[in-house]
Structure 1
Amino acid sequence: MSVKRVVISFLIFIAGLVAVPEADAGWNPHKEDHARQTVKLFQKTDPSLDRFFREAYGYTVFPDVYKGGLFLLGGARGSGYVYEQGRLIGRASITQVNVGPQLGGQSFAEIIFFRSREDLERFKKGDFELSAQLSAIIVTAGVATASDFADGVAVFALPKSGLMAEASVGGQKFTFKPY
C-alpha cells in the first residue's frame, strides 16, 4: 500500500472518529461504574484533587478519551458522565480536532470541574469549548495543590497508554445529554 493511500485512509478514519456519534443503547451501569473508578484513580494519583470535588458545583468525567494523529491532522473522541453537586445528571461527549505536526496515538482520562452553577449551565447548553489556551493539567501527585479554576473551570487529564508527539493547535468541543 502506498504512503498516499495510508495517509488518505488515516484522514478518513480521523474524520469518521470525530464526525460519527458514539452508539448508545441507553443506561449502562458498567460505564457509570467505570466513571466512578476513574474518579477514584484521579483521587489516588493526587489526593489534593479532593479540594476540587468539594468546591466545584459540578464536574464531568471522561474515563476514556482516545486520540490519534498523523502528519498534519489528528483528533480525539470520548464519552463521559456529568455530575451536579455529586448527583449524576447526564452524559457528555468530547470531540477534538487538531491541525499541526503530530504522530501517534494515546488514551487518557479527563475531568472538568465547574466552579459555579453558571459554569455548569454553560456546559450543558453546548456553549462550552476548551481552546488551546486552556489546556488540561496532567495529574501527578500534588499538582492540584498549585492549580485553580480559570474562567470558571479546572481541567485535569490522566494519561493511560500510548505515545504521541505533537505541536498542534485545536480545541475540545463538548455535547451534553440529560438523563
Structure 2
Amino acid sequence: MLKFTRRGVQAAALAVALVTGTASVALYPSQPAQAASEADAHELVSAARFAFDDLTDRGSHATLRALLKDAKGVMIFPSVIKGAIGIGGEGGSGVLLVRGEDGVWSYPGFYHLSSISIGLQLGGQENRFLLILMTDNAVRRVMSGDVQIGADLSAVAVESGVDKATGTTTGRRDIYYHAETQGGLFAGVSLEGTKIKSRNKMAAKYYGGSVTSRDILIERRVSNPQAEELRTLVSSQSGL
C-alpha cells in the first residue's frame, strides 16, 4: 500500500496553518509550481504505480477493473492535499497514460489537479485519485493541457464499486473516478469544477528534452524505462 510520508507531513503543517490563520489563498494556486526536478518526476511515477496497484487490487473494486477494460486513458494522482476550514482547496500532481489503437498503453504524461471549494472541509486531508477516461473526447480535452471537470467533461464517482449517479456502469460518462484517503474510501467527494493542467516542464525533465503531450501519449516519440512497471501494471489490470 502507498504510504503517505513527506506529503503527509506537509498536509499536517497546512492544517495547522489553516487553523491558526497563517495560510493564504496562495497555498492553492491555479497552476502548479514548475521547478520540478528529474527526481521529482521519477518519484511521482513510482508513487503512481503503487497507488494504482493498491486502488485496483481489491475485490470491492471489480467495477474499476471492468471500466479499465474499455478505458481510453487512465490518470493517477497518488497524493492530493485537501484542506481547509471554510474556504478549502485541493491540489496534487499525477500522470496520464493513453491506450493506443493497438491496445498498448503509452508512457506517462504529467498533469496537475487543482480546485477551490466553499464549505466545511477536513483540514490537511490527503487523498489519492484514479480517473478512468472512457471517451476519445476526454483524452483530447485532458491532453489540451487546460480542462475543467463539469464544464468541459462529465464525470461521476465510483464508490464501493458502484456508479454513484446511476447505481450501474451503463451509459458511459467521459470520466469515472475513485478517491481514497489514507484511511480508506473517501465517500462524497466531487471533482466538479476541478481543473487539470499539463506539467510540460516536468515531462521535459523526465524525458530529457522538450516534449508535448501528443509526443508522449499519441505519437510515442519518447520513452523512459523507469515507467515500464507502471505500464505493465496498467496493461494487466485493463485485461491485456
Q: State the one-letter code of the partner of 1:16.
A: L
Tell me which protein shows more strand as a share of its residues. Answer: 1
Could you tell me which runs of 5 or more consecutive residues in structure 2 were left unpaired when the two chains were aligned. Answer: 1-18, 100-104, 201-212, 217-240
1:48 is paired with a residue of what secondary structure?
A: helix
Query: 1:98 aligned to 110, 117, 120, which one?
Result: 117
The answer to whether the Cα contact below 8 Å between 1:64 and 1:108 also exists between their aligned partners in 2 is: yes
Give the TM-score taking structure 2 as reference length. Answer: 0.59
The answer to whether the Cα contact below 8 Å between 2:75 and 2:97 also exists between their aligned partners in 1 is: yes
C-alpha distance in 1, partners of 2:194/2:78? 16
Deviation digits for residues 125-169 of structure 1 (CA, Å, limit 9, x no counterpart): 13521249945334x3x336834565411111122259x9x9x99
The answer to whether the Cα contact below 8 Å between 2:31 and 2:197 also exists between their aligned partners in 1 is: no
2:38 is paired with a residue of what secondary structure?
A: coil
The answer to whether the Cα contact below 8 Å between 2:73 and 2:134 also exists between their aligned partners in 1 is: yes
Aligned residues: percent identity? 22
User: How far off is 1:100 after superposition?
Assistant: 2.5
The answer to whether the Cα contact below 8 Å between 1:58 and 1:82 also exists between their aligned partners in 2 is: yes
Q: State the one-letter code of the partner of 1:126.
A: G
C-alpha distance in 2, partners of 1:97/1:75? 4
Residue aligning to 1:24: 36
Give the TM-score taking structure 1 as reference length. Answer: 0.76
Cα distance, 1:136–1:18 mapped onto 2, change above 3 Å: farther
Q: State the one-letter code of the partner of 1:21.
A: P
Aligned residue-pair number: 167
User: How far off is 1:91 after superposition?
Assistant: 0.3
Structure 1 segments of 4+ aligned residues over 6 angstroms from their partners: none
User: Are 2:97 and 1:78 equivalent residues in the alignment?
Assistant: no
Residue aligning to 2:52: 39
1:101-140 → structure 2 map (5 Å cutoff): 101-131=120-150, 134=155, 136-138=157-159, 140=160
Cα distance, 1:29–1:104 mapped onto 2, change above 3 Å: closer
1:42 is paired with a residue of what secondary structure?
A: helix
C-alpha distance in 1, partners of 2:170/2:113? 22
